[in-house]
């Protein structure tokens, strides 16, 4: 009778340890799967961000803006020269040179 009791005790202890092991392994596997899902989601979001940045660069390029201006029957105007620039000859010459360079392009 004592042998059966000792055997049952050992069996219960082994079953408890096995249950704990399976429980911890299951939690670790679930956490690992969740990490994989989050990494995949982060990769997808990074791809979306890069696509949106590329689209923004395309839309805001000078070629695209010029097309939109002509589609809307608008025209490009040169900004008027602010009066304070003419008070300083160096600034006026620099501004005039910058306007000349921008008109060449």
Domain locations in the chain? 2-74, 77-105
Find out whether 94 and 73 touch, Cβ atoms under 8 Å: no
What pTM does this model have? 0.51
Which residues contact residue 49 at a Cβ distance below 8 angstroms, ignoring those fewer than 6 apart? none
Average pLDDT over residues 78-93: 59
Round to whole Å and give the CA distance between 49 and 53.
6
Instruction: Please state, in angstroms and rounded to a whole number, the distance separating the CA atoms of residues 11 and 19.
Output: 12
The residue with greater pLDDT, 86 or 101, is 101
Q: What is the pLDDT of residues 11-56, one digit of tens each?
A: 999 999 999 999 999 999 999 999 999 999 999 999 999 999 999 9
């Amino acid at each position: 009778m004592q042998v059966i009791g000792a055997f049952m005790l050992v069996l219960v202890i082994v079953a408890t340890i096995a249950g704990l092991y399976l429980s911890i392994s299951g939690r670790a596997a679930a956490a690992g799967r969740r990490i994989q899902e989050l990494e995949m989601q982060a990769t997808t979001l990074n791809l979306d961000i890069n696509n949106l940045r590329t689209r923004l660069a395309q839309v805001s390029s000078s070629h695209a803006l010029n097309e939109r201006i002509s589609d809307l029957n608008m025209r490009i105007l040169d900004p008027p020269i602010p009066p304070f620039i003419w008070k300083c000859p160096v600034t006026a010459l620099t501004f005039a040179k910058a306007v000349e360079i921008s008109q060449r392009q």
